[in-house]
């Protein structure tokens, strides 16, 4: 991926933010800062930690085009740059350029599209019922207005919702009621192409936003040659069916169970066939929550949003990071000493701590020493698929 294709959009957003500046030392390159934001969002790091790892890891330096001893933007510089992108509304333009580059590389969306949504947690707010109501009305509580420091710590865009999960059947065979799980945060709505699993359209809302209504808000790509659209039963409605028919699309959306009646066998079989295709979107969410965060989908370890910032667009950056980091199929392995990983890899000079595997195909950097070097995966050792911007210590 040539990040130079993003330069016009990045520089236009930065110029708009710094149009009134006079003199001073030249700023850091916009593409460099954007690469660091991609790494930060992809790995769920704080901005300060991102700066440290760019200085510390040779693989991160190479990705950012830096060398040992080169100056690296600090956390405040990255924060200001991200705020400039949000203020200028540059993320949509960046995503369109990325989608165009993916298509030009031969990954054409020709096999239909799959639509789904996933919840993203945010730090929970401790507000009174009166303040919650004021925030829902789009207003700022009076006692926050004269306290800018406190207002910066309050996320006024996230919302509460309840996610229902089916309870397990008891030992005696009697069914158990659904389990209601409260959730505070945001919701990522994505549309991926069926063949390549690449996000083509994305939308970020608060967690309380209904899934079905978002289908008509830009998630359907009219440029796709295939007309099939897969989605779960939350997207089944007369309005959506009419919208898809008008757009020339064929609905493959799951049908809902009749209220108070058992699911007809023919409908259940049809839904099962659709699920085999629709389930591919879950792999995208697994990448997003397993590789790009702390493993549970939380966007913790990030600075608190500033006053007046668009929190939803901050969460939307992970879409760009996810697509930029699609696996390339390369196989790499880092090994520290015999027995650290399966396969009997030989030791590496200078390595003092073993790497810990968290699951097949993923290697954690916990307790890893930065003197480790890359080696081809041989001798039956763990083999993982790392993306082009993958971080190897």
CA distance 311 to 48: 19
pLDDT score of 207: 92
b/e map 331-358, b = 16+ CB within 10 Å: ebbbbbeeebbeeebeebeebeebbeee
CA distance 4 to 11: 11
Phi-psi region at 361: left, alpha or beta (left = phi > 0; alpha = psi -120 to 50): left
pLDDT band, very low/low/confident/very high, at 22 (cuts 50, 70, 90): low
pLDDT band, very low/low/confident/very high, at 253 (cuts 50, 70, 90): very high
Phi-psi region at 112: left, alpha or beta (left = phi > 0; alpha = psi -120 to 50): left
**Domain boundaries 110-122+158-289, corresponding CATH code:** 3.30.420
pLDDT tens per residue across span 306-365: 434 444 444 454 444 444 433 333 323 222 333 333 333 333 333 333 333 333 333 334
- Which of 33-42, 57-66, 317-326, 361-370 is predicted with the least confidence, judged by mean pLDDT? 361-370
CA distance 380 to 377: 7
pLDDT score of 260: 85
Residues ≥6 apart with Cβ < 8 Å to 40: 46, 47, 50, 78
pLDDT score of 355: 33
pLDDT score of 20: 55
pLDDT score of 149: 87
CA distance 55 to 38: 16
Position with higher pLDDT, 153 vs 20: 153
CA distance 114 to 97: 21
pLDDT score of 310: 47
pLDDT score of 348: 30
DSSP 323-379: HHT-EEEEEEB---STTSSTT-PPP-TT--S--EEEETTEEE-TT--TT---B---T
Tell me which DSSP letter residue 217 carries. Answer: I
Of the candidates 117, 148, 126, 301, the one whose C-alpha atom is nearest the C-alpha of residue 215 is: 117
Burial class (CB within 10 angstroms; exposed 0-12, middle 13-18, buried 19+) of 33 = buried
């Amino acid at each position: 991926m040539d990040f130079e294709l993003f330069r016009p959009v990045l520089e236009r957003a930065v110029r708009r933010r710094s149009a009134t500046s006079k003199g001073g030392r030249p700023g850091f390159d916009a593409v460099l800062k954007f690469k660091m934001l991609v790494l930060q969002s992809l790995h769920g790091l704080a901005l300060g930690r991102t700066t440290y790892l760019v200085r510390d890891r040779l693989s991160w330096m190479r990705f950012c085009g830096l060398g040992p001893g080169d100056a690296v933007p600090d956390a405040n510089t990255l924060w200001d740059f991200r705020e400039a992108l949000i203020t200028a509304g540059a993320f949509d333009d960046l995503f369109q350029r990325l989608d165009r580059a993916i298509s030009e590389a031969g990954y054409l969306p020709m096999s239909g599209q799959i639509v789904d949504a996933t919840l993203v947690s945010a730090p929970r707010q401790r507000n009174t019922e009166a303040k919650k109501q004021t925030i829902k009305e789009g207003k700022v509580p009076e006692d926050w207005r004269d306290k800018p420091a406190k207002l910066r710590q309050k996320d006024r865009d996230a919302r509460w919702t309840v996610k229902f999960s089916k309870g397990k059947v008891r030992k005696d065979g009697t069914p158990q009621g659904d389990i209601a799980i409260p959730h505070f945060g945001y919701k990522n709505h994505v549309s991926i192409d069926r063949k390549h699993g690449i996000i083509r359209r994305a939308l970020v809302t608060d967690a309380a936003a209904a899934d079905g209504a978002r289908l008509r808000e830009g998630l359907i790509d009219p440029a796709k040659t295939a007309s099939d659209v897969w989605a779960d039963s939350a997207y089944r409605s007369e309005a959506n069916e009419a919208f898809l028919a008008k757009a020339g699309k064929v609905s493959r959306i799951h049908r809902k169970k009749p209220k108070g009646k058992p699911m007809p066998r023919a409908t259940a079989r049809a839904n099962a066939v659709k699920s085999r295709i629709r389930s591919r979107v879950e792999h995208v969410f697994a990448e997003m929550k397993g590789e790009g965060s702390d493993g549970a989908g939380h966007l913790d370890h990030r600075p608190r949003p500033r006053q007046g910032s668009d929190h939803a667009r901050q969460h939307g950056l992970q879409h760009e990071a996810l697509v930029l980091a699609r696996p390339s199929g390369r196989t790499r392995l880092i090994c520290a000493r015999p027995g650290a990983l399966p396969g009997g890899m030989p030791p590496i000079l200078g390595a003092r701590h073993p790497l810990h595997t968290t699951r097949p195909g993923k290697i954690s950097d916990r307790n890893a020493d930065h003197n480790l070097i890359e080696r081809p995966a041989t001798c039956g050792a763990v083999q993982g698929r790392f993306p082009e911007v993958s971080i190897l210590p």
